Structure 1
Amino acid sequence: MDGNDAKMTGKCPVMHGGNTSFNTHPTRWWPNALNLDILHQHGARANPMDVDYDHRKAVKSLDFKGVWNDVDALLTDSQEWWPADWGHYGGLFIRLSWHAAGSYRLGDGRGGAGSGNIRFEPLNSWPDNASLEKARRLLWPVKKKYGNALSWADLLALAGTVAYANMGLKVFGFAFGREDIWGPEIDINWGSDSEILAPSDERVTAIDDPNTMYNPLAASHMGLIYVNPEGVNGNPDPAKTAKFVRSTFARMAMDDEETAALTVGGHTVGKCHGGTMADRVGADPASSDLQFAGFGWDNPGFDGKANTAHTSGLEGAWTSNPTKWDMGYLDLLFKYEWAVTKSRAGAWQWEPVNIAEEDKVPDASDPSIKHNPIMTDADMAMKVDPTYRAICERFHKDPEYFADTFARAWFKLTHRDMGPKANYYGPFVPDEELIWQDPIPAGPTGYDVEKVKAKIAASGLSVTDMVNTAWDSARTYRGSDKRGGANGARIRLAPQKDWEGNEPARLAKVLSVLEPIAKEAGASLADVIVLAGNVGIEKAAKAGGYDVKVPFAPGRGDATAEQTDGDSFESLEPFADGFRNWIRSDYDTKPEEVLLDRAQLMGLTGPEMTVLLGGLRVIGANHGGSKHGVFTDKEGALSTDFFVNLTDMAYKWEPKGKNLYEIIDRKTGKTRWTATRADLVFGSNAILRAYAEVYAQDDNKAKFVKDFVAAWTKVMNADRFDLAA
């Protein structure tokens, strides 16, 4: 052993943190490098379930009522290690469900309760989620009992619904069917704030206009689900807070009435916890030492009593009966004047002036002690903002209307990212179909598919017309909240038919040809659009020397305008599509980053993204007929030419503009092709080039066609939840 070996003997050979750490990830050293991890963050190697495990099948065997009853029993089974307020975990479980669901944002459909992501960082250690790791541990016996068929995602969403029912609310319903992820979503954009709870100024262009907040974010601060309960940037001002509340909830697809109902109903039960000064509280779970067993926010002042627990720093309940569904919140809000003060932990909160003794709140541990109720700055916004006040006054006069409005808003909050009702399981699923579920009628299946294909092939439509229309219809799918996709044929309806990315004039021409074919055959237009794309792929493959049949499953339906929430569909509009080599002129994000984001939302892997883009280029599927990236002399034929010429060192690349490059023949000096960043990233990024080289090899021409067809079919069927039912 030489000297260098001796020096190494005292060091651990394991690279601590590995690729899951922000400190050791290559992008720390090369921050401009494209990080492809988002495409594979939930890979098979992280999943402990059997390869053939199908959660949609497993959940059907679940004892749904048994789960409900066990959670209900748990509500009043106070544990010594984390005692319940007033002997009832209702408020804690409601907060758990609320915060599991509340990370959802309409902009990209990410977040929400649909995957159990609150179990992992960063959400697990956000200060707004303090003590919710305790709530999950309280639910562990139920999860343990029912096993695989009961996902954590379902259980976390269910807990609050059961709590509301237990405390007297007639709930709207509940659906099982969410499937767990098995690792953190660290590559999701949760914000680029300089620190946790950094000022809102870092997220908005103008602090007085919350609508200037960076999209797709919704919460006002990194580490919060909604807004700062103490006021904007911690400064009490209900009128200003009202603006942030409105903007935040709108970005969650909630209108003013739903927002007011959720605020009032959410604070009708439970309490805030400010048991000690914030600087005495321990670190979050991710930063805590091993002996804390995954718990965070250790409270040295906690003595095993509910009234000494610390969470937000605010301290107190909103109503006189915090374990009952009643009208106490609005009774007190409108009955008293409220003054801003500080909790015993030093947090800003509002308390009533000259409150009557009978309206005070029993202590969470000792009912002989009474406290003032409290309101947060967001609660006071319900009284100060004219619109919210009018809504709350209407609720106050009509308790039944309020209860129904809240129950529906709560159901929407906890189910918003589950997609259509085809994903809903269990006896508590409401019969009513709601517009935000993007309802689609069942489509016909008895027509002659081959005859329809023959009519499409003879229609005079070009390969690109057929392929582009099918792609544009299907590419809207977001696996994040299971919205969009080809099913429903909403591409023919507003707002999609007018989107720039869908080339409205070309789209109208193609639909005018396909609609009569669908009507004559008794097929849905949604099916015929996809069939047309398949016909185009089969023609392109044949031109490339391969006879293939693209798999097809009939049964898509055609949604109506009445079944389409046009406003919420606006968030699905693409401002770029790297697969069709298009980016809107005023869009500043790098094309390759937008491509990556789109691919992840569509559920594509890195190789699938690669093979699709290369195939669409040589087919000639570019937006507007652009020739950028069409590295072939046989445009319209499905071939490996894109990859062959991309990786050929006979050519060099020269930038000619913001997003334009010339591909120049080294010998002649002449421009051979033009390209964009979305093309050339497959030759410059090390990982993507590795994929591109696979398809550039002489022995993988047949593999390329096979892989392209498989990836194409995956995109076309991404929203066919009925196929997996």
Structure 2
Amino acid sequence: HGAAPESHKGPEPEGSKIQDQATGWNSNYKSGLGVDTISSGIEGAWTTNPIKWDMGYFDNLFGYEWELTKSPAGAHQWKPRQNGHDIEMTPDAHERSKKNLPMMQTTDLSLKMDPKYGPISRNFHENPDEFADAFARAWFKLTHRDMGPRACYLGQDVPKEKLIWQDPIPKAKYKLKNKDIETLKSKILKSGLSVSELVTTAWASASTFRGSDKRGGANGARIRLEPQKSWKVNNPKQLSKVIKSLEKIQKGFNSKSKSVSIADLIVLGGSVGIEKAAKAAGEKIKVPFTPGRGDATQEQTDVHSFALLEPQADGFRNYVKGEYSLSAEEMLVDRANLMKLTAPEMTVLIGGMRGLNTNFDNSKHGVFTKKSGKLTNDFFINLLDMNTTWKEISSKENLFEGKDRRTSKVKWRGTRADLIFGSNSQLRAFAEVYACEDSKSKFNADFISAWTKVMNLDRFDLKG
């Protein structure tokens, strides 16, 4: 609405006086209600019958030439030009006896004048049934886009058609038995893949999950497809090596009566790597594994849509794609939040993964241990060691050296995503717990719990 100039309109809800009770946008123009309302400043309707589904919008858009005018509030809008035929008037929103000229905004006219959108709009105008179908599909996508895959849908009205924006994944054809799992674990151990390669690949696959719209995750093994297999953060050369090894194991296992998906093998590989790293540190653990993932095809993967999932930063792998206004530690917290991790879960995962050499570029930044490749709490012990002093070694203050306080000998190098666990008071409190001499068993248990949570973030078939 735009009944009068915006000078009559009050402040926004958060800026209004306390006695206005956040109603905001209050107007001192006449009654301030109904015909006297001021909101966007635009005044009028687009069609002759605004409450009826018809082609009135396109009829008006293409049926008239339009000229620029202003609403009573002074907002720019367009009205039909008198060019030889009657103009169908639109009903007033508040006075039944009153009729108004239809109006359009500049964005509306772009659907007519733009060289790309114009032909699309004309096609819809000439083919009402096609327009109705396209609108229904677009509306369904708009209102269901953040619900995740079809596994999250309930009720009898779920369409049978599978749509590519739902990120379809074929169901697993065979349920792995415990004996199968142990056989596959043995084959992975003998594959020659390192702890770092196995753990990094599993993390890269699962950590794409976004709790905001339930997209991404390990199910589907789309890390072996475009665009994910080419992302810099995934170290494409190393990733290709791991996938080829796992495909070889898959080929040797699959038969007419049984099969395993690459998606399951990737996650199982991460479990094998962690168990191997714990054993090397003198601890015997078992990482929970729940099979049942499927493998998506390239045809089932919208490359453009999945490109939007590429992380601009992943502090768990000490990766930042470029220079941003946000700091590395802020982006780390944002990434953890997308994966629905708590602060303690984020903390223990960082500590464990640093020791397992999961940096995207295989650098030693944040690897505060002499026992690399083993699952230990050394990251926390050495980060909080008071015998170490830290100093920035880059002008951007994103890389630091830790030196022995007495000898000045360089001991470690770390990034902001590492040092934040000693700098931030809350994160330091968690780090101090895991740095304790008697916390090794707690560290292992918490790390495995958080790891398993990430691996199963997209397993909606297990929820409930």
TM-score range with shorter-chain normalisation? over 0.9
Structure 1 residue 282 corresponds to structure 2 residue 39: no
Secondary structure of the structure 1 residue equivalent to 2:147: coil
Secondary structure of the structure 2 residue equivalent to 1:568: helix
Of 56, 59, 72, the residue aligned with 1:328 is 56
Name the amino acid aligned to 2:152: N
Structure 1 residue 535 corresponds to structure 2 residue 272: yes
1:324-373 deviation per Cα after TM superposition (whole angstroms, max 9, x unaligned):
11111111111111111111122111111127556101222333211001
Task: Report 1:176-325 matches (<5 A).
Answer: 273-289=1-17, 292=20, 295-301=23-29, 306-325=34-53
Identity, % of aligned positions: 57
Q: Contact 2:390–2:401 at 8 Å: present in 1 too?
A: yes
Secondary structure of the structure 2 residue equivalent to 1:699: coil
Task: Report 1:365-444 matches (<5 A).
Answer: 365-444=94-173
Q: Distance in 2 between the 1:344 and 1:304 partners?
A: 14
- TM-score (norm. length: structure 1): 0.60
Structure 1 residue 665 corresponds to structure 2 residue 432: no
Q: Contact 1:276–1:299 at 8 Å: present in 2 too?
A: no
Task: Report 1:496-645 matches (<5 A).
Answer: 496-519=228-251, 520-521=253-254, 522-584=259-321, 589-645=326-382
Q: CA offset at residue 524 of structure 1? A: 1.0
Name the amino acid aligned to 1:454: S
Which sections of structure 1, spanning at least 5 residues, go unmatched? 1-272
Q: Contact 2:26–2:32 at 8 Å: present in 1 too?
A: no
Secondary structure of the structure 2 residue equivalent to 1:473: helix
Of 462, 470, 479, the residue aligned with 2:211 is 479
Q: Contact 1:275–1:302 at 8 Å: present in 2 too?
A: no
Q: CA offset at residue 661 of structure 1? A: 1.7
Q: CA offset at residue 282 of structure 1? A: 3.2
Give the direction of change, closer, same or farther, for the CA distance of 1:665–1:525 in structure 2 (3 Å limit): same
1:521-578 deviation per Cα after TM superposition (whole angstroms, max 9, x unaligned):
4111101100000111111122223222111111111111111000111111123321
Secondary structure of the structure 2 residue equivalent to 1:638: coil
Secondary structure of the structure 1 residue equivalent to 2:154: coil
Name the amino acid aligned to 2:188: I
Q: CA offset at residue 471 of structure 1? A: 0.5
Q: CA offset at residue 703 of structure 1? A: 0.9
Which residue of the partner structure matches residue 469 of structure 1? 201
Which residue of the partner structure matches residue 698 of structure 1? 437
Q: Contact 1:614–1:643 at 8 Å: present in 2 too?
A: yes
Name the amino acid aligned to 2:163: L
Secondary structure of the structure 2 residue equivalent to 1:428: coil
Q: Distance in 1 between the 2:424 and 2:244 partners?
A: 42
Q: Contact 1:275–1:315 at 8 Å: present in 2 too?
A: yes
Which sections of structure 2, spanning at least 5 residues, go unmatched? none
Give the direction of change, closer, same or farther, for the CA distance of 1:585–1:281 in structure 2 (3 Å limit): closer
Q: CA offset at residue 593 of structure 1? A: 2.4
Secondary structure of the structure 1 residue equivalent to 2:333: helix
Name the amino acid aligned to 1:625: N
- TM-score (norm. length: structure 2): 0.92
Q: Distance in 2 between the 1:699 and 1:327 partners?
A: 72
1:652-674 deviation per Cα after TM superposition (whole angstroms, max 9, x unaligned):
11222243222111122211121
Q: Distance in 1 between the 2:399 and 2:388 partners?
A: 16
Q: CA offset at residue 312 of structure 1? A: 1.2
Which residue of the partner structure matches residue 723 of structure 1? 462
Q: Contact 1:302–1:309 at 8 Å: present in 2 too?
A: no
Which residue of the partner structure matches residue 352 of structure 1? 80
Q: CA RMSD in A?
A: 2.0
Structure of larger gyration radius:
2
Give the direction of change, closer, same or farther, for the CA distance of 1:307–1:621 in structure 2 (3 Å limit): same
